[in-house]
Amino acid sequence: MTGPDRQPPRPAREGQGGPAAPPRAPRPARQAGGHTLYHGIALLHPRDAARLRRGGPGAGSPGAGGRRALARAARLGLALALVAGVAAAGWHWRAPAARALARLRPGRAPVAVSGLEYLSPAEVLKAAGLGPTEAFFKVDLERARRRLACQARVREARVERWLDGRVHITIVERVPAVLVPLGRLTEADGAGRLLPPLVGGVVADLPVVTGLAAPRGGWIREPGYARALRWVRALAAPEVGLGGRVSEVDVAAAAETRVVLSPSGVRVLLPDEPDDVEELSALRIVLADLAAKQQEPVLIDCRVRGQAVVRAVAQPAADGEGKATTAEGTKPDEEAAGAARDRAGPAKV
């Protein structure tokens, strides 16, 4: 066969006769990124080879540009979604944000006070060293809190900046439990802390504790004070129901506690400690029975457990006559009560 399609004769192989053919140089396969690839072997720098494997510039891969375009589009879509979310949130909260910014007019924020029962907001602001409005970012919160903590009527205080554009003061007051006669009636809380009088001079309607030594340093440390508080709580228990009638608690004697009930001034002798509150229910029964009989006791002895002995009873007088009283009036001392008991005999319930 002759012509352009005729194949040249193959050289004879070694060992089949004839001289061995000289080795041929490898043919270039293709051009990629300005580098020559020989049968898939890149004769280039390792850094360029790594970039070709990743599909970077010069990779010559037809899908590399498409993948980069998709990645850019995904990043752009994510950024647009984020911007849209922030815009929607801003539109939703536009009114509260506008109100908060309006309260911050020229950097001033109103000061709100909460948790008050006895104190007034003006007293709290004065104690904290703050005014009705303060610089929102310049107010010293810790200093104001320390000043409030030094006040006798404040048990706990928090001063905070809120996102509504206000400075909030939250107060937990010391609640007065009883009154102590110290020249004038002074309120004291359950821990024995003496409370200064309010600006208005109002005193709470609480039992008066007598028989105590003079307090020192603004605190009542005497054990009798704690005993008086235990009796006030015991008489206010639902089983007894005399919390609103306790007018005075006398703890001068170590072996007994004397209580005066309002409004008639009935004196009640009690043990030193309220060991069993349920046994005090006999006192309520006696008072209810005497009220039903229109009798006014002047002295009730409850020092014996489970018993209430009426030492003296003022009988109601007939129409047109005054009430029968003793020589000491409606509140006789114990000697007059003993004389009345000897005449009428004790009544036990």
Q: Convert 265-302 into a string of H (helix), E (strand) and C (coil).
A: CEEEEEECCCCCCHHHHHHHHHHHHHHHCCCEEEEEEC
Look at residue 52 and tell me if it is in a domain: no
DSSP secondary structure, 123-169, as one string: HHHHHHT--SEEETTT--HHHHHHHHHTSTTEEEEEEEE-TTS-EEE
Alpha helices in the chain (DSSP H): 46-53, 64-92, 94-103, 121-128, 141-149, 223-235, 281-292, 334-344
Cβ neighbors of 67 (< 8 A, separation 6 or more) are 55
For residue 192, tell me if it sits in a domain.
Answer: yes
Q: Is the pLDDT of residue 51 over 70?
A: no
What mean pLDDT, rounded, does the chain reach?
75
pLDDT higher than threshold 80 for residue 345: no
Mark whether 245 and 147 lie in a shared domain: no
In this structure, the answer to whether residues 199 and 334 fall within a common structural domain is: yes
| Assigned domain for 299 exists | yes
DSSP label of 245: G
In a domain, 137, yes or no: yes
Q: Both 272 and 329 in a single domain?
A: yes
Q: Kindly indicate the confidence band of residue 29, based on its pLDDT and cuts at 50, 70 and 90.
A: very low
In a domain, 230, yes or no: yes
* pLDDT attached to residue 163: 84
If asked whether residues 116 and 184 sit together in one domain, one would say no
Count of domains in the chain?
3
What three-state secondary structure class fits 248? strand
Domain termination residue (choose one: 148, 173, 198): 173
Q: Which residues pair with 219 in a beta bridge?
A: 193, 216
- Let me know if residue 15 belongs to a domain: no
Mark whether 237 and 343 lie in a shared domain.
yes
Q: What is the pLDDT of residue 279?
A: 74
Range of the domain at 145: 99-173
Which of residues 267 and 338 earns the better pLDDT score? 267
Max avg pLDDT among 1-10, 164-173, 309-318: 164-173
Asked whether residue 199 falls in the same domain as residue 323, the answer is: yes
